Structure 1
Amino acid sequence: MQDKSDKTVPKSKNSRRDFIQKAGLLIGGGMAGASIGQAIAMGNNTGKVNCEDVDYSTLKYNDNEWNRDAFARIMGDLDFGKQKFGWYRGTVKGVMPGQPIKDLFGFEGFSYARLKDNGDGTYQKLLREVGYYTDLKTGEVMDEYHNPYNDEKVKVVHIANDPFNHVISAFFPQPPSYGGINKDKKPPKIPFIMPWTEVGNNKVMLQNSINLFYPNALQPEKWPRESSGKMNQVSEMFNYVFDKEDLANPNITGLEFSGSWSRITPWLPWMLMGQSAGHITYDCIQGCYNNTDMMSPKIRAYAKKHHPEFFNAPTEWAEPSWSSLEHYAHEQTPAPVKK
């Protein structure tokens, strides 16, 4: 959770701060997606202004540099160095052809992120994130799970990505490399314009998604029970709802929001489904507020015991930046083939 501050950020020649100040955005970490806001005071201690005083001309939806800075305010805090909390919770569902979709287990996690100015019109987003699989009845973090599809008790492997970094720029990001695994030819640079939707007089909604198809870190020859195949097919969908006056307010350098996060992915490797037909979907709410009250007490306690370092965002860029699948390949060992 972040502290309030009333300091202003000094201008520096030819820096992004200088550009944003000239554009009217005075600037001071998410999870792929989820972080709380930091407000710099502007006549009060919240950073907010009276509705009649809001200058909505600052909302430059069709300007890719404005979009870059708005997205940075979602992902982190443009008062550089401050960290930002993000949170999500929901259910993980199994989709097997010819069967009803099943709610398998719960899922809750959080991230802390911070931004660094590269000085060239781009920002580093530095992030740590954890996600825990929970029993649907008790809410307890699971160590083992009875997989109803193969009638087998399996060891649960939670998500702990440290770090998971990327660069925010005025152009759409290149597909992630996943530690060098994804070697696809990079697409041409496309100005970063996101699909904003104003709702009534006081809300703005945003959709953001990514579809990936890249070589699997768990190749079936080595990981016959964990691997879904040679290629990994994943989609993630993010929805955000903001206060319009916050988005227009140049003094709010980190935006609070509510929303949802969904993910379509192959069977989780620890479920030991191999290349069975079907897949997994995550269906979660997400949010970023200036507190961590929405985090379940059981999740907070488990994280403090097992991943205390994840309550602080990284301070420097580090490699490799892996997703959970690459971590699994490096930290786990293949399960014995079933006789």
Structure 2
Amino acid sequence: MERREFLATGGLLAAGMALTGAEAARAAADTSSLKGRAVDLMTPVGNREAWARLLGNTDMKSTKYGWAQGLIQGVRPGEAIRDICGFTMLSCARLLPHESGSGYRKILREIGLYTDLKSGEIIEEMVNPYLNETVKVVPITNDPFNHTITEFAPEPPSYGGINKFKPAPKPLQLDWTRRGETLNLFSHINLFYPSSLPPAKWPRENANPFNQVTETFLYQIPWADMQNPKKTSVEYNGTWTRTTPWLPWLLMGPTPGHAQYATFMGAVDDINRIDRKTLDYVEKHFPKYLKAPDKWEDPSLSSLELYARTQTPAPVPAGQPVPRAPDPELPAWFKAMQAKPGA
């Protein structure tokens, strides 16, 4: 879910959260509305505490449960976007004290499962609608996916240790907007980095040497909860979208296009508020994902990095080109219209 720091409830995250010029101008125009009795969202410490209460619980004992549910869609030039399958995700996070004495270390594990479009049932194989080929579905199993929460902006992703660049510390300022009694948070990240699935080794899973990924998180937060000093955890709802290469297990090979996740997301303090089908499946097949980790461990890998470590390349038939989806055709109604006399 590379996620990227996933699910910025758990993963997906906020690396690169510097304000754009337009965002900075908007914030400067009215900062008083972001000051409350519990936190001042125009200060680095206020941002740190608010961010920690969204992603975890600052009592540093309780678990915060993140969720996402929605669609996986395929995007190809020359045709309408297609719905491929559904998606459901669960994350379990807990906060630990930061070693500096200021801030937190968030420890998290998360699982993402794919579902049938009609029944909503979790699937372990499916027919790829582009290739008409049965493929094994590989769930997302990020364990762990950890990061720190301090009064400084997070460092850029390391991409499994490839990126060694360490920018100068920058005060943490997230992109908050207050709309009456609702607090909104906008977070997104645009990435372009070497793929952990090089096409020479993984020709059916991936056709590009680089990954082009964008993730966007939109949070809807009760203002009263954020400004309640007794609340060590603040629940929220929102949306999470991710533009990503074709999911490797779809075996799209050199087919032009990409996939996208389009989901609702949220975080709650009670696991029983998570989708029951998801909980039942995880309890039966992946029970450790019902609990947060006990301690900080490295490394924290993206889902694509983990795929490269846990899966094996699908074979290409001897003497045959790498399979790809047939080129799209124009819609039947459009071809019929063109065939009419005088069209």
* C-alpha deviation, 1:155, in angstroms: 0.8
**Once the 2 structures are TM-superposed, how far is the Cα of residue 136 of structure 1 from its aligned partner?**
0.6
Query: Which residue of structure 1 lines up, in the alignment, with residue 114 of structure 2?
Result: 133
2:60–2:94 CA contact under 8 A, matched in 1: yes
Distance in 2, matches of 1:60 and 1:84, equals 23
In structure 2, the residue matched to 1:319 is 298
Letter in 2 for 1:274: G
Match of residue 158 from structure 2: 177
Instruction: Work out whether 1:231 is the aligned partner of 2:206.
Output: no
* 2:93 partner SS: strand
Alignment partner of 2:241 out of 226, 243, 262: 262
Greater mean deviation of Cα atoms: 183-192 or 306-315: 183-192
* Secondary structure of 1:56 counterpart: coil
Pair 1:69–1:279, CA change in 2 (3 A): same
Q: Which residue matches 1:32? A: 7
Asked whether the equivalents of residues 241 and 260 of structure 2 are also in contact (C-alpha less than 8 Å), the reply is yes
Letter in 2 for 1:125: K
Alignment partners' CA distance in 2, 1:323 and 1:197: 30
Distance (whole Å) between structure 2 residues aligned to residue 31 and residue 79 of structure 1: 23
In 2, Cα distance between the equivalents of 1:137 and 1:74? 33
Q: Is the 8 A contact 1:34 1:88 kept in 2?
A: no
TM-score (norm 1): 0.81
Taking the aligned partners of 2:185 and 2:81, their CA distance within structure 1 comes to 28
The Cα shift of 1:294 comes to: 4.5
**TM-score, with structure 2 as normaliser:** 0.80
The offset of 1:233, in angstroms, is 1.5
Deviation at 1:119, TM superposition (A): 4.0
Q: Which runs of structure 2 are paired with 1:272-287 in the superposition (5 Å)?
A: 272-287=251-266
Deviation at 1:285, TM superposition (A): 0.5
Q: Check the 8 A contact 1:206/1:239 in 2, yes or no.
A: yes
Say which SS state the counterpart of residue 325 (structure 1) adopts.
helix
User: What whole-Å deviation, never above 9, does each CA across 1:274-302 have from its counterpart, x for those lacking one?
Assistant: 24221111111111233334533322221
The RMSD of aligned alpha carbons is 1.8
CA distance in 2, matches of 1:282, 1:118: 32
- Which 5+ residue runs of structure 2 have no aligned equivalent? 11-34, 321-343
Contact 2:37 2:228 in 1 (8 A): no
**How many angstroms apart in 2 are the aligned matches of 1:75 and 1:290?**
11
Paired with 2:253 and 2:169, the residues of 1 have a C-alpha distance of 37
Correspondences of 1:1-339 after superposition (within 5 Å): 32-34=7-9, 56-120=36-100, 121-180=102-161, 182-200=162-180, 202-338=181-317, 339=320
Distance, in Å, in 2 between the alignment partners of 1:197 and 1:266 is 31
Structure 1 runs not aligned, ≥5 long: 1-29, 36-54
SS at structure 1 position matched to 2:189: strand
Change (3 A) 1:151 1:31: closer
Deviations 1:86-121 (Å, cap 9, x if unpaired)?
A: 111001110011110011100001100001112422
